Amino acid sequence: MRQLHCCYIQNAVNHTFRSAGGGLSKNAPPRGYALESSESARIFSAFTSISIIAAIYGNGILPEIQATLAPPVTGKMVKGLLMCYAVIFVTFYSAAVSGYWVFGNKSNSNILKSLLPDDGPALAPTWVLGMGVAFVLPQLFAIGLVYSQVAYEIMESQSADVKQGIFSMCNLIPRIILRTLYVVFCGFMAAMLPFFGDINSVVGAIGFIPLDFALPMVLYNRTFKPMKSSLTYLINISFIIVFTGAGRMGAFSSIRKSILDANQFNLFSSNVVD
């Protein structure tokens, strides 16, 4: 897993250099950084972006939970969370900032599509684009191993024979078949529904904002019961109010964007809607 995560970090760094290289190309498109003309559209876009950022930082939830499986819980959780957020900040933001600097408000959620415009030549050599695709594969393997582990456990709890060894043929073959079918199903659904940006924002608003920023404060107040006049209680209540409002606005703006983009949705389309 460490090697796969290193490949993931390397992939993000490569994306950064590819974006910068595309910006230095003589065929690079003109950059534009103008926002929407309507103030309401800018507000909705801001809350949609907050929802996407929340979904990105929500990537740390599952590794954080896994870090608590063995003692000492507190120290391992804090270290794992800090490391996870540091890696997310470096990898995601390096690619995001360089992509926006190069392509402006016309940047695509898929950097390879930005480097391969529909009109005009490619903005990077073929070997660079091929290397980008090659580095995406280890990233997908890591995602499949880590974030699908819960689904694997549920499936294998029904199919595994606990009396046999973990690598016995009666356990190994069903495990390979079930995991392969699950990955194929996920890939099929991803290819059928290429609405990555809209789905990401909806999941971030409805799932990750409450789960990351509101629910922990509620659980802390209910578990430790700090005095209502204490600073800890007031800060927790402030977080609950602010992020509950942000989650509601993010859900509304994300669903609104999905409705506006609905006319671009096509099953198995090669054009990913941002």
Segment 6-26, tens digit of pLDDT: 555 555 555 555 555 555 566
* Residue (of 52, 50, 43) closest to 199 by Cα position: 52
Torsion angle defined by CA atoms of residues 16, 48, 266 and 264, in that order, rounded to the nearest 10 degrees: -100
If you average pLDDT over residues 32-58, what whole number do you get? 85
Q: How far apart (Å, rounded) are the C-alpha atoms in residues 145 and 2?
A: 12
One-letter amino acid for residue 211 of the chain: L
What is the pLDDT, as a whole number, of residue 274?
62
Structure tokens at 100: 């926006």
pLDDT > 60? residue 112: yes
Q: What global pTM score does this model have?
A: 0.75
pLDDT of residue 6: 57
45-59 mean pLDDT:
83
In single-letter form, the type of residue at position 121 comes to P
Query: Which tokens go with 26?
Result: 């003589």
Q: With 90 as the cut, is the pLDDT of residue 215 above it?
A: no
- 210: buried, middle or exposed (CB in 10 Å: 19+, 13-18, 0-12)? buried
DSSP the chain: -HHHHHHHHHHHHHHHHHHHHHHHSTTPPPP-----SSHHHHHHHHHHHHHHHHHHHGGGHHHHHHHTSSS-HHHHHHHHHHHHHHHHHHHHHHHHHHHHHHHGGG--SSHHHHHS-SSS--SS-HHHHHHHHHHHHHHHHHHHHHTTHHHHHHHHHHH--TTS-TTSHHHHHHHHHHHHHHHHHHHHHHHH---HHHHHHHHIIIIIHIIIIIHHHHHHHHHH---TTSHHHHHHHHHHHHHHHHHHHHHHHHHHHHHHTGGG--TT-SS---
Instruction: State yes or no: pLDDT of 31 exceeds 80.
Output: no
pLDDT at position 19: 54
Task: Work out the average pLDDT over 258-271.
Answer: 79
Please answer whether residues 226 and 232 qualify as being in contact, where contact means their C-beta atoms are separated by less than 8 angstroms: yes
Residue 94: per-residue pLDDT:
77
Give the chain's mean pLDDT.
Answer: 78
List pLDDT tens digits, range 150-178.
788 888 888 777 777 777 888 888 888 98
Specify the long-range contacts of residues 78-87, CB closer than 8 Å, at least 24 apart.
84/59, 84/60, 85/57, 85/60, 87/5, 87/9
46, pLDDT greater than 80: yes
* pLDDT at residue 49 greater than cutoff 90: no
C-beta neighbour count of 32 within 10 angstroms: 9
Please state the rounded mean pLDDT for residues 60-84.
69
156 against 251, higher pLDDT:
251
Task: Give the CB-side neighbour count of residue 59, counting CA atoms within 13 A.
Answer: 18
How many percent of the chain have pLDDT more than 70?
81
Tokens of 231: 């600073």
**In the prediction, which pLDDT does 17 show?**
56
Q: Please report the pLDDT score of residue 85 as a whole number.
A: 78
For residues 62 and 146, the answer to whether their CB atoms sit within 8 Å is yes
In percent, the amount of the chain with pLDDT more than 90 equals 12
Q: Which of 107-121, 179-193, 195-209 has the lowest mean pLDDT?
A: 107-121
